[in-house]
């Protein structure tokens, strides 16, 4: 059909920044003979939750040859326009006040949008090329604003307003756009221009951030052998008081981080917050290959009108989470000690929560839409994170392949084969693709390993596998509510008993946010949401919990006063011994030598 080749024209104007509304005009040259349908995605790739972006379309109207034509809304995200000869012009207003990486935002300081929030898809013309006019808002306040996006330029200068181009709707919505007075740093990786654009008030040491991000990117390109085909790559970073998140795209990523995570010129050693930020850059850049090009077959193409389930998010998020921190130590941005600390923290996170015995990684992936993305007070008891446990499974798989092949192959080889044998020939992964490659590399059947540790729910063989690369895994009890593990800590601070839950500050006492399965709180009948007021007549707070409990012994009973909603309740809680669920890792005497081929990537070459 020739009509499929006619471009769809969009014009987007950050029209009323003070009201947080964009005006969008969509022109369809050849509307369907039976009347054109248009729709807006219910979700954005990379973030597996129904978000119903159409709820932010405030008003929508259609016209043809200056005549208004009828529009019917068919469901929450689909509109039907009456028959017209064309061109059909649809005008709408989009409310944008979501400062996340997933949607759209607009105020007098900047504009940001994902295409999934602002560009209507034209039914049966989704493969048509798209042209987008990005228009500067009117007023002196906006005279210095620039545009940062990896959409292809058609008639726009670098970082300029004007016309951009995309080959089809799928491409159109995979290039987020930032507009404002961002700080900019440009560099090159593998001959391809890269840039970091930072929005928000900040005083970052931009040269340092740029240097660190550049070596992280170079290390990943070296591992995969090449960068996917692109003209340039862009990191869009928004800094706020508090927040953390990222979303991957084919030639860019949107990142949100707290201001304190940025490096500054007085910083000598990288802070934990800065290392987290570099881990986020590393994570999203790795996705450029792994999930943007290497994809589960269920995502080819994406169905953006409803949930798309896959058993493989553990592979896409878990393997990526494994390589994000590994990339930091391999590129020399963090020390091997710091890397062991990060691994110890990840292990702690997983082994503290009983949900890991109830949900496997493929189940966690499949149920992401309703469980991982919609967590509640019972989540630690019911689910496991395909990110964190997925990263530990990836670690085990890497060490297992190294063991089975006498260090001749590794997970790096699996990734390179996924890139060349799947992504480059546009072939999606099935549930067994990774297992098949691992079996070929190892020259043996690996079904038992995958059945036990991937499809099963028993704990991963971390102690044995880490010992082979010179690392001893230690477990201890926690030291405080803030103790995330990773460090040996002071033995005098190790807890004697565990209440079996997590807590938050509350004006009246201490609030139970989570009560673990079979923990002391649960056995006493105390639930998430309860506010504990006193133990044996002494007032409780989150800060004094440990000191109040200090004089007691295992087996002692505490009489607890608490509020459940507005009802005063009394409970008897028996103190039980703390479980050793906090992990730290230590090098064996000759450990660093044993780990050399694994951690020091350049030594492999």
- Please report, as ranges, the residues that interact with Zn ion according to CB under 5 A: 317
* Least distance in angstroms from the C-beta of 473 to Zn ion: 26
561 Cβ contact partners less than 8 Å away, ≥ 6 residues apart: 532, 533, 534, 568, 569, 570
* Least distance in angstroms from the C-beta of 149 to Zn ion: 21
Pick between residue 317 and residue 325 the one whose CB is nearest to Zn ion: 317
* Least distance in angstroms from the C-beta of 316 to Zn ion: 7
- Answer for the pair 512, 521: CB distance below 8 angstroms, yes or no: yes
* Least distance in angstroms from the C-beta of 595 to Zn ion: 26
Pick between residue 30 and residue 253 the one whose CB is nearest to Zn ion: 253
Q: 546-578 burial, b for 16+ CB within 10 Å, e for fewer?
A: eebbeeeeeeeebebbbbeeeeebebebebbeb
* Least distance in angstroms from the C-beta of 246 to Zn ion: 7
- Answer for the pair 55, 39: CB distance below 8 angstroms, yes or no: no
* Least distance in angstroms from the C-beta of 320 to Zn ion: 5
- Answer for the pair 146, 160: CB distance below 8 angstroms, yes or no: yes
CB count in 10 Å sphere of residue 24: 22
Pick between residue 20 and residue 249 the one whose CB is nearest to Zn ion: 249
CB count in 10 Å sphere of residue 297: 14
Pick between residue 245 and residue 529 the one whose CB is nearest to Zn ion: 245
- Answer for the pair 309, 431: CB distance below 8 angstroms, yes or no: no
* Least distance in angstroms from the C-beta of 284 to Zn ion: 7
* Least distance in angstroms from the C-beta of 8 to Zn ion: 30
Pick between residue 212 and residue 317 the one whose CB is nearest to Zn ion: 317
Q: How many angstroms separate the CA atoms of 69 and 402, rounded?
A: 65
DSSP letters, 76-98, are: TTEEEEPP-SS-EEEEEEEE-B-
Tell me the two tokens of residue 436. 């098949």
Q: Which helix (H) or strand (E) holds 41?
A: none
Pick between residue 281 and residue 584 the one whose CB is nearest to Zn ion: 281
Pick between residue 391 and residue 410 the one whose CB is nearest to Zn ion: 391
Cα–Cα distances in Å, from 204 out to 217, 254, 263? 20, 18, 5
Helices 591-599 and 388-404, axial angle in degrees (round to 10): 100
Alpha helix ranges (H) inside 76-202: 115-118, 169-172
* Least distance in angstroms from the C-beta of 318 to Zn ion: 9
CB count in 10 Å sphere of residue 464: 13
* Least distance in angstroms from the C-beta of 286 to Zn ion: 8
* Least distance in angstroms from the C-beta of 287 to Zn ion: 6
Pick between residue 386 and residue 503 the one whose CB is nearest to Zn ion: 386
Q: How many angstroms separate the CA atoms of 154 and 372, rounded?
A: 40
Pick between residue 317 and residue 363 the one whose CB is nearest to Zn ion: 317
* Least distance in angstroms from the C-beta of 167 to Zn ion: 25
φ and ψ at residue 8, rounded to 5 degrees: -95, 130
Q: Is 67 helix (H, G, I), strand (E, B) or coil?
A: strand
CB count in 10 Å sphere of residue 292: 22
* Residue carrying structure tokens 């340039």: 232
Pick between residue 317 and residue 367 the one whose CB is nearest to Zn ion: 317
Pick between residue 391 and residue 582 the one whose CB is nearest to Zn ion: 391
Pick between residue 64 and residue 217 the one whose CB is nearest to Zn ion: 217
Q: Is 490 helix (H, G, I), strand (E, B) or coil?
A: coil
- Answer for the pair 147, 161: CB distance below 8 angstroms, yes or no: yes
* Least distance in angstroms from the C-beta of 185 to Zn ion: 23
Residue 286's Cα: distance from chain center in Å?
A: 12
Q: How many angstroms separate the CA atoms of 286 and 316, rounded?
A: 10
Pick between residue 317 and residue 398 the one whose CB is nearest to Zn ion: 317
What is the number of the residue whose Cβ is closest to Zn ion?
A: 317
CB count in 10 Å sphere of residue 484: 17
Pick between residue 328 and residue 528 the one whose CB is nearest to Zn ion: 328
Pick between residue 185 and residue 385 the one whose CB is nearest to Zn ion: 385
* Residue carrying structure tokens 């607009």: 106
Tell me the two tokens of residue 178. 């930032």
* Residue carrying structure tokens 């990339």: 327
Strands 8-16 and 130-134: parallel
Peptide bond into 301 cis (omega under 30): yes
498 Cβ contact partners less than 8 Å away, ≥ 6 residues apart: 477, 478, 519, 520, 576, 577, 578, 579
* Least distance in angstroms from the C-beta of 225 to Zn ion: 22
* Least distance in angstroms from the C-beta of 557 to Zn ion: 46
Q: How many angstroms separate the CA atoms of 254 and 372, rounded?
A: 21
């Amino acid at each position: 059909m020739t009509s499929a080749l006619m471009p769809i024209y969009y014009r987007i104007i950050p029209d009323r920044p003070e009201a947080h509304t964009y005006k969008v005009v969509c022109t369809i040259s050849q509307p369907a003979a039976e009347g054109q349908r248009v729709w807006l995605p219910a979700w954005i790739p990379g973030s597996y939750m129904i978000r119903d972006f159409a709820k932010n379309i405030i008003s929508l109207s259609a016209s043809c040859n200056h005549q208004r034509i009828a529009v019917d809304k068919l469901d929450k995200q689909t509109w039907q326009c009456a028959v017209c000869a064309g061109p059909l012009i649809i005008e709408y207003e989009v409310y944008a006040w979501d400062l996340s990486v997933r949607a759209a935002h607009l105020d007098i300081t900047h504009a940001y949008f994902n295409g999934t929030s602002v560009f209507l898809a034209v039914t049966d013309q989704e493969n048509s090329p798209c042209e987008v006019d990005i228009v500067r808002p009117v007023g002196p306040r906006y005279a210095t604003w620039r545009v940062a996006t990896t959409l292809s330029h058609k008639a726009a200068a670098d970082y300029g307003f004007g016309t951009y181009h995309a080959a089809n709707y799928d491409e159109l919505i995979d290039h987020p756009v930032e507009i404002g007075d961002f700080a900019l740093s440009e560099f090159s990786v593998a001959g391809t221009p890269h840039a970091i654009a930072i929005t928000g008030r900040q005083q970052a040491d931009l040269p340092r951030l740029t240097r660190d991000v550049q070596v992280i990117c170079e290390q990943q390109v070296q591992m995969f052998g090449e960068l996917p085909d692109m003209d340039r790559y862009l990191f869009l970073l928004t800094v706020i008081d508090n927040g953390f998140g990222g979303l991957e795209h084919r030639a860019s990523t949107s990142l949100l981080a707290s201001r304190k995570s940025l490096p500054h010129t007085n910083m000598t050693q990288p802070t934990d917050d800065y290392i987290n930020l570099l881990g986020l850059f590393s994570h999203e850049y790795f996705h450029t290959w792994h999930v943007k090009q290497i994809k589960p077959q269920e995502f080819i193409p994406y169905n953006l009108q409803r949930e798309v389930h896959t058993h493989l998010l553990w592979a896409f998020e878990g393997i990526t989470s494994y390589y994000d921190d590994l990339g930091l130590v391999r590129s020399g941005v963090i020390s091997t000690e710091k890397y062991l600390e990060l691994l110890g923290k990840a292990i702690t996170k997983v082994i503290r929560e009983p949900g890991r015995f109830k949900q496997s990684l493929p189940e966690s992936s499949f149920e992401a839409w309703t469980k991982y993305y919609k967590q509640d007070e019972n989540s630690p008891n019911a689910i496991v994170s395909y990110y964190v446990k997925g990263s530990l499974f990836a670690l085990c798989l890497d060490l297992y392949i190294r063991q089975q092949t006498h260090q001749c192959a590794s997970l790096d080889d699996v990734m390179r084969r996924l890139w060349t044998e799947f992504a480059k020939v546009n072939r999606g992964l099935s549930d067994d693709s990774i297992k098949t490659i691992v079996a070929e590399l190892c020259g043996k059947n690996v079904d038992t390993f995958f059945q036990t540790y991937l499809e099963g729910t028993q704990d991963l063989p971390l102690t044995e596998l880490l010992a082979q690369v010179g690392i001893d895994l230690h477990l201890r009890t926690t030291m405080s509510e803030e103790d995330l593990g990773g460090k040996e800590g002071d033995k005098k601070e190790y807890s004697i008993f565990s209440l079996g839950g997590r807590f938050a500050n509350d004006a009246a006492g201490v609030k139970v946010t989570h009560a673990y399965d079979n923990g002391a709180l649960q056995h006493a009948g105390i639930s998430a949401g309860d506010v504990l007021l006193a133990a044996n007549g002494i007032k409780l707070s989150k800060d004094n919990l440990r000191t109040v409990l200090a004089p007691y012994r295992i087996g002692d009973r505490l009489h607890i006063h608490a509020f459940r909603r507005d009802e005063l309740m009394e409970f008897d809680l028996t103190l039980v011994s703390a479980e050793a669920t906090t992990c730290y890792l230590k090098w064996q005497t000759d450990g660093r030598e044993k780990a050399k081929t694994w951690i020091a990537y350049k030594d492999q070459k």
